[in-house]
Amino acid sequence: MGAVFDGHKEFEKWTGKNLHLLTALEHGIYLPFAEPSEWIRHNVARALTYYPLVSKGKGCNEGSYFEAARKLLPLTIYTTAGFWEFSKTVLQHACVNTTKTSWANILSEVNCLKQTEAEELVL
């Protein structure tokens, strides 16, 4: 695993501690991929650009972490949103009884939860 995760853990810790300093300033869209592997390929290609900024071996520092986080955080937000939308569609097609319109309804059917329990999970 070596070089692949060089500095990754430290970068995630730093980002978590400094999240209040970061905002997703860029506007984006949910990436409309047909398969989950497409999100992975897309994110790997984008993230590789920022690898030198978080690599311990390349001399990363707080300034380089901030620069990487400003670009990678919006990417994770848009990817997560797009993947949730994709998953919702897949789950809706998997539910045979009726078309679902909310995550609470989908969770209650898929996981056999009471409606109130499902709503608490979504909140």
* pLDDT in the model for residue 94: 72
- In which region does residue 112 sit, left (phi positive, over 0), alpha (psi from -120 to 50) or beta (all else)? left
Q: Other C-beta atoms within 10 Å of 107: how many?
A: 20
* pLDDT in the model for residue 1: 46
How far is residue 92 from each of residues 20, 59, 116, measured CA to CA in Å? Answer: 35, 47, 20
- Tens digits of per-residue pLDDT, 22-77? 655 554 556 667 788 888 888 888 888 998 888 888 888 888 889 998 888 888 88
Q: Is the pTM of this model over 0.85?
A: no
* pLDDT in the model for residue 113: 44
Q: Measured on CA atoms in the order 45, 47, 53, 56, is the torsion positive or negative?
A: negative
**Closest C-alpha among 80, 88, 86 to residue 24:** 80
CA distance 87 to 93: 10
* pLDDT in the model for residue 13: 86
